[in-house]
Every structure is written in C-alpha cells, then in structure tokens.
Structure 1
Amino acid sequence: MSSFIDELNDAQKAPVLHKDGPLMVIAGAGSGKTRVLTYRIAYLMAQGVDSFNILALTFTNKAAREMKERIAHIVGASEAKNLWMGTFHSVFAKLLRIDGNKLGYPANFTIYDTQDSQRLIASIIKEMGLDKDIYKYKQIQNRISSFKNSLITVKAYRNDPDLVEQDAMAKKPRTGDIYENYVDRCFKAGAMDFDDLLLRTNELLTRHPEVLAKYQDRFRYILVDEYQDTNHSQYLIVKALADRFQNICVVGDDAQSIYSFRGANISNILNFQKDYDNVGMYRLEQNYRSTRNIVNAANSIIGKNQNQIEKVVWTDNDDGPSIKIHRSTTDAEEGRFVANSIWEHRMQQQMT
C-alpha cells in the first residue's frame, strides 16, 4: 500500500489518508485532483472497505473510465470491478433499473437522449395545434429540463403562479400543458429522459424510505468529483445517500464552475461545511500543469470573485512565454475567438 501513497505530495496525501467522516478537497487547476480521488478509493479498499460499498460519481464517462483503470492497476481488476463508479446519470440509471419498478417503470425502460426528447416535444406541439414559431421545441425542451433539474414536477409547476406567469408573459401559456403531455407520453412508453434519471431517483428515495435505507447501507463511502458543478437535484441525492454514515468526500474548485447554464449551483460547494459537522478541509494548491505566468494571471482574476473558498495556487514550473491579451466586446465574440484559436493551433501543430 505504501508504494502508491508515496507517489503523492504531502498536500495530496492528507485527504487520501482521511478515512472516516466528511471532507472537502479544494483542488486548484492541474493540482492532481484525479490522482487524489483515485488513490483515496484504492486506500479505502486497502483498509478493508469492500468495493461494493464505495460510490464514486463523476461528470464524464471518460473520467470514470480512467479512474477505474488506475484503481484496477493498483488493487487489481477483480477488486475494482464491483465499484459503483460512473457519471451521475449512468449510476442512477443502474439504480433505477433495479428499483424503478416501484415508480411504475419497467426494468428495461428506454432512455431518451436530447434528440428523442425534442422530437417528442415537437410532435406534441403539432398535435396540440400550437404555433411552432412561438413554441419552439428546443426552447420548450430546455424549459422542461430546467424544471426537472430543480425538481419542479407538473403539479409543482401548476401550483407556482410565478412560473405560470413567466410563461404567459413569454406568450407561451400552454407550456404546462406541453410539460404534462410530455411526461405522460414518456411514462406510457416506459421511457425516461436524461433529466428523469435524477428526478426519478430523488422521487424513489423520497417516496420509498426502505429503498433509501438500502442504498445508504450499501454506499458507506461516497466520493463526488467536480462538486462545484452539481445541480440541486444531484445535491439532494448525494446528501440523502450520505446521511447515515456521512463518509462523504467532495472534490472541486469553486473557481472552475462551468455548468451554471445547466443549473449547477455554486452554493453546493460553498455551503458544504454547513451541511456536515467537523468537515475535514484540504487544499491542493500546487499546479503541475501550467507555467508561472498563467498561474499568476489566473490568480489575479480569481481573486476578484466576491464569494469564494480561499486558496493560493502556485507552481514550480518556469515562467513560460508572456500572456497575450485579446479584448472582446461580447461573450459570444470571446467564445468564437477562443474556438478559432484552438482550431488554428491544432492545424498548425497537426494535432488530432
């Protein structure tokens, strides 16, 4: 065991060796966050924790796959295969295939992707005889998605005069009817969309305490990557599952939150210490990836954030080339500039 632990610096070792109780790891960019998560799981297993009792949630399948491969390399493939590790959606789809029948869904329910959802919504708009230029199916799909990620069911929507008024003011007073029709059609087809995988998991754990108790007992150690990008629905699921043992480790960086447009709630990471008692707080501040000029520039910008968890990122790397400044008049122009710069760099370097 000591061999892989010795590969960590002191700041990385501390959260890995923190076995029980809640802990938060604030990981600056390029600071070895993935290595800490991976080695923490390997350490728990080396300490006798059954892989079946560990839940690790990531935001991408690629991250989950890489972590599982690293863990298998340390502890062996047979030990690693029983880990519940994956994206929020993939893990909770697995959970719903086991217990979703309690909500009336078949074990082999279909999962609609975004295009499936948009096609169904477009069909509903047409069947209801609504003006497709006002009720644009992509906008309606985004609206329904935001409802679900905030746990706003059809009933909750109809009971919220502010939401109803917002749609009326936007000249879309039938949004609630489309939502209800969409939910009914999905249910009758034995289907869930991506947002349902979170919404229905919340519903299952809330309405069936025996199911919640089963998974609380199973997931005795929970690890969440990129915690700053969790939305309200994800937050509630994790909090419910961790409530019994409170062996929860969240890793993230409030300065790297990028999914607010998907409903990510930055307060989840900012308020973590209020949700649990005696939280172990760890900071990974050494950047191994970037030049000193880049790190210092990033620090100067991040330092202006009003609400933040204090940290000072630093590096032993060289100064590197000076930073070029480009001034954009709009965020869209800035996005195009960045995308074009990346494209040009790829072409010049013949990168894939």
Structure 2
Amino acid sequence: MVERRLGLEDEVQQIFKHKDNGSDFLLSGGAGSGKTFSLVEIINQSLLENPTDRIACITYTNAAVNEIEGRIQHANLIVSTIHKFLWDNIKSFQIELKKVLTELINEKTHKGLILSEHVDSDFFTGKTIQYKEYVLIKEGIISHDEILILANIMFEKYPKLCRIVQDKFKLILIDEYQDSVTRC
C-alpha cells in the first residue's frame, strides 16, 4: 500500500501510520490550515486502498457536510452531522431510549428535559421517541440538545452500541471533534 501513498501530504502520511497501527489520531490546526483538504485526502486514499470499507465522516453543521460531500462522493462514505449520525445509531433502540429519557426526566438535572412531574417507566408506552426540529418531551419528541445528552449516556450505559458502530464502520473521522461529546 505504501507505493500508492506517494504524493500525499506529510501529515496525511503520518495519519496513515497511525491508521495502519490501529491507533487513533488527531489532526489539529487553525482555520484555513488545510484540515478539510487532509480529511478528504484520508478518505480518498482509504477508499482507494479498500473500496468496500465503510467510512463515516461526522461533522457539526450541514454546511460542513455539504462541503465534504462536494469534494468526495462514494457509496461507502457516510457524511453527516453529529446529531444525525448519533440519531441514526440509537433510534432503533427504543426500549433503551425510553428508559434513559425517563431517567433523565426524573433526575431533573439536564436542561431541556425537565417536566413538572415525576414520570414512571411506562410514561412513553405507545409512543415512539422521535428526533425533530423542536422539543415536546411529553410526546417523546427530542431535538439537537437532547440527542447529544441521550447518545452520550446510551453509549456509556450500553457498550454494545459502541461495538455495533465500530462494526459498521472501518474508519470514523470526526471533523470539529471539540464540538462533540460522545466517544466509543
């Protein structure tokens, strides 16, 4: 594979050393320093070497999603916001979502999840937890802030979720990682 990597930027070469060793890496730099260019090079090279591998590229805004998708498109590349990525990976676990959401409501320590009354374990029975642009907790509707809180707790509480995500994607790249709160 090394012969195919000729011509890549030095920092991308270093990243591939970490990737080849199975270790995490961090690419940091100021605005305009070429981080997105390097990110695209990493994705392109990874797909060139292993075109059947699934890669996730997670970012914080739809504008960043559009920018990355504008530079590279591949059937095995998923580019999404952190909110959409997290929701896509937890939405099928409705029992666990309802349990964690009920616990958060009863804790009354998380902004946006406060209800005036205590709720019991069957509070969300017959409802599907949904992710929308607004919050209506009593109806099981959550939004951006709740996704981050719920996913963080669910990935900590249910390690199987981390293993599922790790099995889905050979490589997970997080753009603007400082804005995210969940780590597997």
TM-score by length of 1: 0.39
Give me the whole-angstrom Cα distance separating, in 2, the residues matched to 1:35 and 1:192: 34
Question: How many residue pairs align between the two structures?
Answer: 164
Deviation digits for residues 19-67 of structure 1, max 9, x if unmatched? 2311111223322110101110111122216442x22211211212221
Give me the whole-angstrom Cα distance separating, in 1, the residues matched to 2:49 and 2:118: 46
1:256-271 → structure 2 map (5 Å cutoff): none
Q: Which protein is bigger by CA-based radius of gyration?
A: 1
Which residue of structure 1 aligns with residue 156 of structure 2?
206
1:94-243 → structure 2 map (5 Å cutoff): 94-104=88-98, 153-157=104-108, 179-181=114-116, 186-228=136-178, 230=179, 234-235=180-181, 237-238=182-183, 240=184
Give me the whole-angstrom Cα distance separating, in 2, the residues matched to 1:156 and 1:5: 55
Please tell me whether the aligned partners of residues 53 and 76 of structure 2 are also in contact (alpha carbons under 8 angstroms): yes
Please tell me whether the aligned partners of residues 16 and 43 of structure 1 are also in contact (alpha carbons under 8 angstroms): no
Please tell me whether the aligned partners of residues 55 and 221 of structure 1 are also in contact (alpha carbons under 8 angstroms): yes
Which residue of structure 1 aligns with residue 82 of structure 2?
88
1:85 is paired with a residue whose SS is: strand
Please tell me whether the aligned partners of residues 100 and 204 of structure 1 are also in contact (alpha carbons under 8 angstroms): no
Deviation digits for residues 102-150 of structure 1, max 9, x if unmatched? 3239xxxxxxxxxxxxxxxxxxxxxxxxxxxxxxxxxxxxxxxxxxxxx
Residue 156 to residue 30, structure 1, CA distance change in 2 (3 Å) = same
CA RMSD of aligned residues (A): 3.7
Give me the whole-angstrom Cα distance separating, in 1, the residues matched to 2:118 and 2:40: 38
How far is 1:192 from its partner? Answer: 0.6
TM-score by length of 2: 0.68
Please tell me whether the aligned partners of residues 16 and 39 of structure 1 are also in contact (alpha carbons under 8 angstroms): no
Deviation digits for residues 66-94 of structure 1, max 9, x if unmatched? 2123222xxxxxxx233232111121122
Gaps in structure 1 of 5+ consecutive residues: 73-79, 106-151, 164-174, 241-352
Which residue of structure 1 aligns with residue 128 of structure 2?
none
**In the alignment, structure 1 residue 28 sits paired with structure 2 residue 30:** yes
Percent of residue pairs bearing the same amino acid type: 27
2:50 is paired with a residue whose SS is: coil
Give me the whole-angstrom Cα distance separating, in 1, the residues matched to 2:61 and 2:157: 29
**In the alignment, structure 1 residue 63 sits paired with structure 2 residue 64:** yes
Gaps in structure 2 of 5+ consecutive residues: 120-134
Q: Quick check: which one's helix share is greater?
A: 1
Give me the whole-angstrom Cα distance separating, in 1, the residues matched to 2:117 and 2:77: 35
